[in-house]
Amino acid sequence: MHSTTEASVRQLDELPSPKGLPLLGNLLDLDPTRLHLVLERWQAELGSPYLLRMGPRKVYVSADAEQLQTVLRERPERYRRMRQLEECIDELGANGLFSVEGEAWRPQRRLVMEALNATHFRAFFPVIQEITQRLLRRWQGAAQRGETVEMTKDLVRFTVDVTTALAFGEDPNTMERDGDLIQDHLSVVFPRLMARINAPVPYWRYVKLPQDRRLDRAVAAIHAHVDGLIAAARQHLRDAPRAAPRNLLEAMLRASEEADSPIDDDVVRANVMTLLLAGEDTTAHTLAWTMFFLAQHAQWQDRLHADACAVLGEAALPGTLDQVRGLDLFEAAANEATRLRPIIQFLFLEPNVDVVLDGVALPAGTPMFFLLRPSMLDERRFGAPLEYRPDRWAPGHPAGAHDSRAFVQFGAGPRVCPGRHLAGVEIRMVLSMLLRNFRLELATDPASISEVLAFTMVPSAMPIRLRAR
C-alpha cells in the first residue's frame, strides 16, 4: 500500500474507463473465451489502473506487479478472492483450499499440506515414472506411424492419471482406455465456471440453460466417483487402523478423524475435487504451451536434448527423483513459455475492508482484476521480453534477466499454491522424456493456434509431429 494524502486519493469513477453502454457498461464486449485479450487491450490503451463496468458492478483493473504483491502478502486478512468466485465454486461442491476464505482457510491449508507430506513423494515417484513410460510408448507409436499428435489431449490424460493416482492410489490409465473417462466430466467444469464468475446476474439459480444442465450432470458424476473412493478409503482405514495413509485421500480422512477437527466429508470432497481440477488443467496446458515454443526453436530442442542425455545417460526418462532435480533447465523452459502464454491470466480479488491502493479508494467488496501478462512483457522487468529465452531462469544467469516478483503463476504470499512441487516434477519428467527421445515440430501454422480462456488459458489446438532421435 502506498502512502497518499487525502486530497490526492482518487475514487473509482475518476479512473479511465473503456466506452460502454448505459446500464450495461462494458458487458457486451466481454466474451468469456477472450476476456483476457480484451482486458489487456484496454490496459494498453488506458494504462493501469482503469475502471471496468460490468452492469452495476465497478471493477478495478490493474497490471501493476508491485500492487499485486502487496495484495497477495496481505491475504487473507485484508484481501480475499472475489466473493463471486467462491460462491460459484461452492455451488459445485468444490470450495476447497483454492477458493475458501475466512476462518475455514487455515485448517484446510494444514489438511492439504499434511496430506501432501503424508504421501511420501519419493515413494510415489515410481507411479509418476510408470505413467510417463506409458506416455512415451504412446508417442513412440505415433512417431513410428507418422501420426500427428494432438498434444493437449494426451497431456490432459497424463495429468489426470498422475493426479488421480496421487489423490486416490488408483491409476485410471486414461491414456489406454476409452469410454466414460473422468476427464470428460472435468473438462466441462472450467469453461462454465469462467462464464458464471463473469455473469452480471446468477441466472442459473432460477433458470437452467442446456449448458447448465450439462454442468450439473458432470458435477454429479464427479461427486459420485469421489464419494465411492471416499467410502473405499474409509473402509481401508477401518480395516488397517495403524497403517500409514497410502495416498492423499486417506491422509485427509485420517486428519478429519482427529479430536476437534473442523474437517468433514464435505471439506475432504471439496479438496479432492480442487486437486483433480487444478492438477488436470494447469500442468497439462503449461506443457502444451511449452511445446508450442520448443517446436519453433530447434536450438532449444538440441540444448535440452543434450541436457537430458547428460543427466539420464542411455535411459529414456528419469529413473530417480534425484535425476529429476538435475533437470532445472526443463522447468525453466516451461516458466518461459508461461511468461509469454500465462496459464493464469489474471487473479480475481477484493478487499475485506475499505482500502487505498496506489492512491485509489476501494470500498470493501470492490472486485479487483489483476492482469499478469503485461508485467511479464515489460522490458524493465525482462530483457528482450518478446523473445523465448529459457536460460533467463537458469541459476547464475546475469542479473536483471528476469524479475521473479512479476511471475506469479503459482501465486505468492501465504496462499502460494501447495501443488507447485508436484507440477514441477511432472513438467521435468515429461519434457526430459520428450526431448531425450524426439524432435518435434508444429503440424500447423503457429498463428492458427489461438488463446482460449476456460478459467485457465488453453491453446485452441496443439498438433505436433514427433520424429524419433
415 Cβ neighbours under 8 A, 6+ residues apart: 72, 75, 76, 105, 109
Q: pLDDT tens across 4-60, in order? A: 455 589 999 999 999 999 989 999 998 888 999 999 999 999 999 999 999 888 999
Neighbours of 401 (CB within 10 A): 14
Alpha-carbon span 464 to 261, nearest angstrom: 49
Higher pLDDT, 427 or 402: 427
Yes or no: say if 149 and 136 are a contact pair by the CB < 8 Å rule: no
For residue 177, with 0-12 CB atoms within 10 Å meaning exposed, 13-18 middle and 19 or more buried, which class applies?
A: exposed
What pLDDT sits at residue 327?
95
282 Cβ neighbours under 8 A, 6+ residues apart: 343, 344, 423, 456
Q: Is residue 451 very low, low, confident or very high in pLDDT (cuts 50, 70, 90)?
A: very high
Q: Is residue 2 very low, low, confident or very high in pLDDT (cuts 50, 70, 90)?
A: very low
What pLDDT sits at residue 120?
58
Q: Is the pLDDT of residue 443 over 60?
A: yes
Higher pLDDT, 261 or 330: 330
Yes or no: say if 355 and 78 are a contact pair by the CB < 8 Å rule: yes
Q: ω into residue 414 within 30 of 0, thus cis?
A: no
Alpha-carbon span 30 to 198, nearest angstrom: 9
Q: Is residue 442 assigned to a domain?
A: yes
Alpha-carbon span 80 to 196, nearest angstrom: 19
Domain that holds residue 253: 6-468
What pLDDT sits at residue 109?
76
Q: Is the pLDDT of residue 306 over 80?
A: yes
Q: pLDDT tens across 237-290, in order? A: 899 888 877 788 888 888 777 777 777 888 888 888 777 777 677 899 999 999
Q: Is residue 131 very low, low, confident or very high in pLDDT (cuts 50, 70, 90)?
A: very high
Q: Is residue 367 assigned to a domain?
A: yes
Number of domains comprising the chain: 1
Q: Kindly state the average pLDDT of the residues 304-333.
A: 95
Q: Is residue 1 assigned to a domain?
A: no
Q: Is residue 391 assigned to a domain?
A: yes
Please state which of the ranges 249-263, 327-341, 454-468 shows the lowest mean pLDDT: 249-263
* Share above pLDDT 70 across residues of the chain, in percent, rounded to a whole number: 94
Q: Is residue 40 assigned to a domain?
A: yes
Q: Is residue 313 very low, low, confident or very high in pLDDT (cuts 50, 70, 90)?
A: very high
What pLDDT sits at residue 119?
54
Q: Is residue 399 very low, low, confident or very high in pLDDT (cuts 50, 70, 90)?
A: low
Q: Is residue 159 assigned to a domain?
A: yes
What pLDDT sits at residue 1?
45
Q: Is residue 98 assigned to a domain?
A: yes
Yes or no: say if 101 and 289 are a contact pair by the CB < 8 Å rule: no
Q: Is the pLDDT of residue 3 over 50?
A: no
Q: Is residue 146 very low, low, confident or very high in pLDDT (cuts 50, 70, 90)?
A: very high
* Share above pLDDT 90 across residues of the chain, in percent, rounded to a whole number: 54
Q: Is residue 75 very low, low, confident or very high in pLDDT (cuts 50, 70, 90)?
A: confident
Please state which of the ranges 42-46, 80-84, 182-186, 306-310 shows the lowest mean pLDDT: 182-186
Q: pLDDT tens across 169-225, in order? A: 778 888 787 654 666 787 788 788 878 887 878 899 999 999 999 999 999 988 888
What pLDDT sits at residue 7?
59
Alpha-carbon span 262 to 102, nearest angstrom: 13
Q: According to the per-residue pLDDT averaged within each range, which of 119-128, 216-225, 265-274, 372-381 is highest? A: 372-381
Q: Is the pLDDT of residue 110 over 80?
A: no
Question: C-alpha angle 431/435/439, rounded to 5°?
Answer: 130
Alpha-carbon span 133 to 122, nearest angstrom: 17
134 Cβ neighbours under 8 A, 6+ residues apart: 161, 173, 175, 176
Alpha-carbon span 23 to 201, nearest angstrom: 13
Residue 177: CATH number of its domain: 1.10.630.10
Residues in the chain: 469
Q: Is residue 101 very low, low, confident or very high in pLDDT (cuts 50, 70, 90)?
A: confident
Mean pLDDT for the chain? Answer: 88
Alpha-carbon span 298 to 388, nearest angstrom: 12
